[in-house]
A and B are shown apart, each in its own frame.
Chain A
Amino acid sequence: METHEASSSLTPHARGTPRPVHSSGVVLRAVLQEGLAQPQAAIKVGGVPLPGEIDWPAVCAVAHRARIAPIVYQCLRSASLPVPGDVMDWFRVQHYDTVARNLASLNVLRTVLEMLAGAGIPAMAFKGPALAQLGYEMARSWKDLDILVGPGAIDRVESVLFAAGYRLMPDPPHPNHRRYAVRGDARDTALEIHFDISDPLLAYRPDVPAIWSRSGAAKILGLTARVPDLTDHLLLTVMQLPHHRWSLRLVLDIWQVIRRWQEAVDWPAFFERARAWRMLALTRSALCMLTTSLGASLPESVASAVRPVGYYDRLRLEIATQSISEQFEHPFRPRVMWLAPFVVTERPADVLRILTRRLLAGGEAMGDGRIETAVRRNLKSIEVLPEVIRVIAASVLPPPQGHGDVGSRKGSTR
C-alpha cells in the first residue's frame, strides 16, 4: 500500500521503423470503439486490429488536446491493445489529475449551490458535472461550472457571489452568461452563470421555461442539484457542438449518453424539441455521424430518422464527418471543422446570414478587438476554402451502398 504524488512525464516511444505507423485517429477510434463496448470490469477479450507501429506521442497529444485522456485511459485498461508502460503511466496520471480537479470543482459547485439556495435563487446545474453524471462520471473532465438561473436573477446572484469573494472575470460581455473566478482556486475553475442558453450566432432557440419545468433534483457525482431532464440535456449537449467545433469530448459525451440511456430518452420528444429549438438538422447530422464514423448503435426508429435525405443532408453529414476526422487526426490544424459551425444549419439560406453576422461581428463575443478577431477568423475561412469545396463536391453524389446504413445495429444500451 502506498501513497504517491502524481507526476507527468512521457518518454517518446521508439519510432522510425519501416513498419506502418498508425495515426492518432486510427488508434483512438479503435481503442474507444473497443473500450466503450465493454463493461468496466470486463476481462480483456478480442483485439484491436492494429498491426504495426503506433505513434503514441501523437495519440497522447490528441487525447490531451481533446481533454479525453482519462476516457481513453478507461478504454485502454480494458482494451487488448498492448500499450507501452510509460504511455500507460502518462494516461494514468491524466486520470488521477482529472479526478482530483473534478473533486475540487464539485466542492465549489456544492458551495455555490448552497449559497444560491440560501438566497432563495433557483439554480440548475448543466453541462460539466451534470453531463459527466450521465456519461463518463469522474473520468469526464470539465473546467467551467455552468449554472442556469432565471433571467431576472443575475444581479442577485452576482451580489451573493461578490459577498463570498468571487470576482467577475475580465471577459468581453456575453449575451447569455457572466463568468466569475473562484476565490483562492489554484485550479482555475470558472463559474459560468447563464441567464439564457440560446446561441446568439447560430439562432438555436431552446425553450428555457420548458427546460425549467421539466428539470428536477438528481444526484450528480455525490451532490444533489437541480438538473435538466435527460432528453433536454442530450439536446443541449448536441447544441454545443458547433460552438466547440465538434470537439471530441462532446461527441464522446453524446455517444456515451446514448449508450447508457437510449431506452430512457424520449426520442419522439427529442426530435420534436430539436425542431422547435431550430436545431433539427444539427441533431440529425450529429447522430448520423456517430453511427457512420464511430459505429454507435441507435434504436431503429432513430437511425431511420437521422439518415440523410437529399444533397444538403449529405453535405452536412460529410462536414460533420470531416470535422470529427480532423479532431481525431490533427486538431491543431483545423480545416473543415473551422467552418462546420456555420454550414451545418437548418436551411442553406442560413449559411449566408450566419457568415455575414460573423463577418460583421467577429462571432458572438462583442468586446474589444472584435475587428481583429473577425479579420483573423475570416482569413482562416478563406484558407480552408479548397477543403470545403472538396467536401461540397464529394456530397453531390449519393454515397455508395452501405454508407450511411445506420439502422441495422441495436446493441446493448448499457
Chain B
Amino acid sequence: MSPEIDGKARVIKNAQVAAHELGGTEGGVLLHLKSGQYHGVDSVGWVIWNLLDGSRTFDEFVQQLRLHYPDAPDGLLDETRTFIHGLLERDLAEVVGPGSDTPA
C-alpha cells in the first residue's frame, strides 16, 4: 500500500530510478535500477516527474502544474493524485514527511 497523499505531503523521485526523455510528445522512460522494471510515462507524466524534487507540498505542486497547463480540466487534481499514487506503488517515488524542508 502506498501512503496517502494529502495536501501537505511532499513527493520526491526515488534516487534508484533512471529516467530519459523520449523526445517529441512521447514522454519518457523510467527505469527502476534495482528491480530492472521500466515504465513509460506520457508527456504530462514526464512534466510531473520532473517537478518531483520534494521542494513543494502536493497542493503547491498542483498549482505549479496548472501554470504548465492553464487549460487543464477540473479533474487535474484527481488525475495527478492517481498518477503519483502509481509512482509510489511502483517504488518510483517516495513521500517525504509533511512540512519537511529537505528531502530525506
Q: Which residues from chain A sit less than 8 Å from chain B, CB to CB?
A: 1-6, 40-41, 74, 77, 92, 95-97, 99-100, 102-104, 106-107, 138, 186-187
Q: Tell whether, in the assembled complex, residue A6 and residue B41 are in contact, meaning their CB atoms are under 8 Å apart.
A: no
Interface residues of B in 1-30 (CB under 8 A from A): 18-20, 22-24, 26, 29-30
Q: Tell whether, in the assembled complex, residue A187 and residue B24 are in contact, meaning their CB atoms are under 8 Å apart.
A: no
Cα A122 to Cα B90 in complex, Å, equals 38
Residues on the B chain within 8 Å of A187, using CB:
36
Residues on the B chain within 8 Å of A41, using CB:
24
Most buried by B among A2, A3, A4: A3
Q: Tell whether, in the assembled complex, residue A40 and residue B41 are in contact, meaning their CB atoms are under 8 Å apart.
A: no
**B66 on interface, CB distance cutoff 8 Å:** no
Residues on the B chain within 8 Å of A103, using CB:
18-20, 29, 31, 33, 38
Among A4, A104, A186, the residue within 8 A (CB) of B40 is A4
A-B contact pairs, 5 of them (CB 8 A): A2-B45, A2-B83, A6-B39, A6-B40, A95-B22
Q: Shortest beta-carbon distance, B49 to chain A, in Å?
A: 10
Chain B residue with the shortest CB-CB distance to A77: B24
Q: Tell whether, in the assembled complex, residue A107 and residue B18 are in contact, meaning their CB atoms are under 8 Å apart.
A: yes
Q: Shortest beta-carbon distance, B51 to chain A, in Å?
A: 12
Chain A residue with the shortest CB-CB distance to B76: A1
Cα A55 to Cα B8 in complex, Å, equals 55
Cα A85 to Cα B60 in complex, Å, equals 39
Chain A residue with the shortest CB-CB distance to B37: A5
**B52 on interface, CB distance cutoff 8 Å:** no
Q: Is the interface of B mostly helix, strand, loop or mixed?
A: mixed
Q: A96-B22, A103-B33, A138-B20 are in contact. List 16 more A-B contacts (CB 8 A).
A: A2-B45, A2-B83, A2-B86, A3-B30, A3-B40, A3-B83, A3-B86, A3-B90, A4-B40, A40-B23, A41-B24, A99-B29, A100-B31, A104-B18, A104-B36, A186-B36
**B87 on interface, CB distance cutoff 8 Å:** yes
Residues on the B chain within 8 Å of A106, using CB:
18
When A and B form their complex, which 4 residue pairs have the shortest distance between CB atoms, in order from nearest? Answer: A100-B38, A1-B44, A103-B18, A1-B45
Q: Which residues from chain B sit less than 8 Å from chain A, CB to CB?
A: 18-20, 22-24, 26, 29-31, 33, 36, 38-42, 44-45, 48, 79-80, 83, 86-87, 90
Residues on the A chain within 8 Å of B23, using CB:
40, 74
Cα A40 to Cα B83 in complex, Å, equals 29
Most buried by A among B22, B39, B45, B87: B22
- CB within 8 Å for A5 and B20 given contacts A103-B29, A103-B31: no
Among A40, A77, A100, A186, the residue within 8 A (CB) of B29 is A100
Cα A1 to Cα B83 in complex, Å, equals 7
Residues on the A chain within 8 Å of B18, using CB:
103-104, 106-107
Cα A104 to Cα B29 in complex, Å, equals 12
Residues on the A chain within 8 Å of B20, using CB:
99, 102-103, 138
Chain A residue with the shortest CB-CB distance to B43: A1
Q: Shortest beta-carbon distance, A227 to chain B, in Å?
A: 20
Q: Shortest beta-carbon distance, A91 to chain B, in Å?
A: 12
Q: Tell whether, in the assembled complex, residue B39 and residue A3 are in contact, meaning their CB atoms are under 8 Å apart.
A: yes
Among A2, A74, A107, the residue within 8 A (CB) of B33 is A107
Cα A74 to Cα B24 in complex, Å, equals 10
Cα A81 to Cα B38 in complex, Å, equals 30
Q: Tell whether, in the assembled complex, residue B44 and residue A99 are in contact, meaning their CB atoms are under 8 Å apart.
A: no
Q: Shortest beta-carbon distance, B35 to chain A, in Å?
A: 9
Cα A187 to Cα B39 in complex, Å, equals 16
Cα A6 to Cα B29 in complex, Å, equals 10
Cα A211 to Cα B20 in complex, Å, equals 31
Cα A107 to Cα B79 in complex, Å, equals 32
Residues on the A chain within 8 Å of B38, using CB:
6, 96-97, 100, 103
Q: Tell whether, in the assembled complex, residue A99 and residue B83 are in contact, meaning their CB atoms are under 8 Å apart.
A: no
Q: Tell whether, in the assembled complex, residue B42 and residue A2 are in contact, meaning their CB atoms are under 8 Å apart.
A: yes
Cα A51 to Cα B26 in complex, Å, equals 29
